């Protein structure tokens, strides 16, 4: 769908609340929606750090139970929360995570819940993950896929380092493209005043541009 259609869709939403200066407001609202998507993608990156790390900043071992807790927190960011969901009337088994490695030419796809569980159980003595901060996340133009639903893609870079006995033995940097669903909801407050709110849920994650770190 062309970007102008998204502008018109946002302007139509704004007509319910503003009634004037729709062009400028729709541009601001579109940027707000894209910022919300970037913030959710950045939060996912923070959870990845917590899931992967084996020791805290003081060097104390992080128990597996705690890392699995962050798996649950991360799954809550995704559509279907890691379980099946419907898209365009078709049931899908769950959000997929695509992974790559500098040691293989092919890509792998796994359910996001399986990927996160595997990340928590990696056999490295330590794992460090760094991802793009929210200010530098690239967000694509919005596309409207339903009356109140938009999608975009957030692109981040993930640096992965695996250690053994205190020495880094594997490192790569991968570009991750995260599909984001932005859902408009109308909120009616106690006094009858109406507001609009946008809920962001993450979708499939694809990988590209993997290189040695």
Structural domains of the chain, ranges and CATH numbers in brackets: 3-212 (3.10.450)
Q: What is the pLDDT of residue 193?
A: 78
* Residue pLDDT, tens place only, 4-39: 467 666 666 655 555 445 455 666 888 989 999 999
Question: Is the pLDDT at 160 greater than 90, yes or no?
Answer: yes
* Residue pLDDT, tens place only, 71-95: 999 999 999 998 999 998 899 999 9
Q: What is the pLDDT of residue 1?
A: 43
Question: Is the pLDDT at 66 greater than 60, yes or no?
Answer: yes
Beta bridge partners of 151: 143, 181
Q: What is the pLDDT of residue 12?
A: 61
Long-range contacts of 19-28 (CB under 8 A, 24+ apart): none
- Is the CB of residue 181 less than 8 Å from the CB of residue 201? yes
Q: What is the pLDDT of residue 151?
A: 97
- Is the CB of residue 155 less than 8 Å from the CB of residue 176? yes
Say if residue 97 is exposed, middle or buried (CB neighbours under 10 Å; 0-12, 13-18, 19+): buried
Q: Give a three-class secondary structure readout of 79-141.
A: HHHHCCEEECCEEECCCEEEEEECCEEEEEEEEHHHHHHHHHCCCCCEEEEEECCHHHCEECC
Q: Alpha helices, DSSP H only, in the chain?
A: 3-15, 22-52, 64-75, 112-120
- Is the CB of residue 85 less than 8 Å from the CB of residue 79? yes
Give which of 149, 145, 157, 163 is closest to 205, Cα–Cα.
157
Tell me which residue has tokens 């699995």: 68
- Is the CB of residue 78 less than 8 Å from the CB of residue 62? no
- Is the CB of residue 158 less than 8 Å from the CB of residue 130? yes
- Is the CB of residue 73 less than 8 Å from the CB of residue 183? no
């Amino acid at each position: 769908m062309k970007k102008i259609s998204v502008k018109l869709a946002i302007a139509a939403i704004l007509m319910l609340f503003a009634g004037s200066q729709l062009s400028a407001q729709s541009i601001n609202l579109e940027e707000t929606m894209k910022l919300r998507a970037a913030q959710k993608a950045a939060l996912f990156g923070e959870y990845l750090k917590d899931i992967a790390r084996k020791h805290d900043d003081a060097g104390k071992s992080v128990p597996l139970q705690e890392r699995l807790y962050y798996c649950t927190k991360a799954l809550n960011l995704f559509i279907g929360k890691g379980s099946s969901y419907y898209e365009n009337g078709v049931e899908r088994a769950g959000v997929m995570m695509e992974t790559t490695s500098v040691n293989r030419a092919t890509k792998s796809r796994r359910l996001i819940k399986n990927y996160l569980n595997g990340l928590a159980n990696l056999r490295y003595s330590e794992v460090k993950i760094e991802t793009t901060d929210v200010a530098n996340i690239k967000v694509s133009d919005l596309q409207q896929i339903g009356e109140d639903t938009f999608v975009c893609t957030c692109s981040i870079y993930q640096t992965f380092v695996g250690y053994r006995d205190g020495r880094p033995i594997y490192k790569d940097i991968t570009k991750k493209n995260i599909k984001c669903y932005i859902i408009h909801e109308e909120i009616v407050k106690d006094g009858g005043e109406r507001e609009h709110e946008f809920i962001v849920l993450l979708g499939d994650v694809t990988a590209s541009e993997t290189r040695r770190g």
